[in-house]
Amino acid sequence: MLAFGELTSFEQFAADARIAPSVADKVDLALAAGHSLDHYRALAGRITELGVDSVERMRGVGATFAVFGERTQPGDWYESLMKGYVLDGIMKDFYRASLTNLDDTSERVATAALDDTRQAEFLRSRLERAIAENGGALSSRLALWGRRLVAEAMTRGRSILLSEIGAPEATVVAVTEKCLSNHSRRMSGLGLVA
């Protein structure tokens, strides 16, 4: 699931780079896409080392990503950046909680992808600048969009823990609360109410 998430992240960053309003944004988004592709390669490589066909294994999770993507179509470039920012944070929190019963090497590879904050830092910085330049109309719209995204992401994250991992309800509740707290902190960093 994490490998497919990185592949999807690569695709989204590359698509956002294509329609970026400036060359600097194109470069930054292309670099962010490259980081996602590097993480995908490391994760898929580890899956292969474990004797599993990584592409075949990911085929099973592709449908859930497609449904989620359809339910969260951004209206413009800024909403797409916000989608990346919100989903990156929330889903990484849920993925981190899902890292159970891994061997040391697999945990190290997965944790390296989850601990990489370069993309989130770029998205936060670029969104902060856009909000400062465009004022209240953009910040209100992005705050509303962020609330919609968080609802979808929390539903998806809870489903991962309950259905895919089989985590006890008490664990799911604790992880959900932590994810919401982290999300509120990230939104406050943008000057937006979660």
- pLDDT tens for the chain, 194 residues long, are 899 999 999 999 999 999 999 999 999 999 999 999 999 999 999 999 999 999 998 887 877 778 888 888 999 999 999 999 998 899 899 888 888 889 999 999 999 999 999 999 999 999 999 999 987 889 999 999 999 999 988 988 888 888 877 888 888 899 999 999 999 999 998 888 76
Residue type present at position 52? V
Q: Residue 139: inside a domain, yes or no?
A: yes
Total domain count for the chain?
Answer: 1
Range of the domain at 132: 2-189
Residue 51 DSSP label: T
Cα 22 from Cα 25, distance rounded (Å): 5
Q: Residue 53: inside a domain, yes or no?
A: yes
Task: Specify the 3-state DSSP secondary structure of 151.
Answer: helix
Closest CA to 161 of 83, 87, 100: 100
pLDDT of residue 61: 82
Q: Residue 65: inside a domain, yes or no?
A: yes
pTM of the complete model: 0.90
Could you tell me the CATH number of the domain that includes residue 42? 1.20.1260.10
Q: Residue 120: inside a domain, yes or no?
A: yes
Q: Residue 194: inside a domain, yes or no?
A: no
pLDDT of residue 125: 94
Q: Residue 105: inside a domain, yes or no?
A: yes
Q: Residue 6: inside a domain, yes or no?
A: yes
Residue 113 DSSP label: H
pLDDT of residue 120: 92
